Copies of this chain bind each other. A is one copy, B any other.
């Protein structure tokens, strides 16, 4: 119990070369995941990093652990986007900003997109989705609705799902094709006099996560 002078738990301080490799793996994995998604083989990461697969497995026996190490900070960026969006004078504009900026991040990094959707390690995703983003978005939505700018019958889960599908809308010739469909969506989201209410109700939070995972994997 007292063998370590480290922080809290019994974490041995990792030998110099090992620490260097750990960073190397993280940096390489970031690139590989951004390009090929979270299911990229360890082989590919190892090859690009110029080290053996064994080394990658030793440091990150669980892929989820590697994913967490990589994306915890990236996800904070998204939370920051939401926070900034919530400060917008006009709540509808805030929503538009949030969607636009989050999409820009997700489209640029396939790994991030998959993380946000909970493709790997649901707990991380739930944590940010439910505990961090959820409240911010909900209050933004509520504000926009009482301002009469956002249609009254959409919820946070609706936005989440739309965000999720938009993030795949990108082709080499038009990498930001998603902007086109985001504009279309925003037009649909705007409150208008005499508007028919949407059919059905916004899906449950839990069900939304399940759907997102299914969309991703299949």
Query: Using a CB–CB distance below 8 Å, which chain A residues touch chain B?
Result: 37, 154, 158, 161-162, 165, 168-174, 176-177, 179-181, 183-189, 195-196, 198-204, 207-208, 210-211, 214-216, 218
Contact = CB atoms under 8 A, between A and B. Distances in A.
Contacts of A165: 165, 168-169
Contacts of A208: 171
A203 B184 contact: no
A174 B161 contact: no
A177 to B, nearest CB: 6
A173 B37 CA distance: 29
A211 B168 CA distance: 8
A218 B217 CA distance: 8
A215 B177 CA distance: 14
Given A37-B218, A171-B210, A215-B168, A183 B199 contact: yes
A211 B165 CA distance: 13
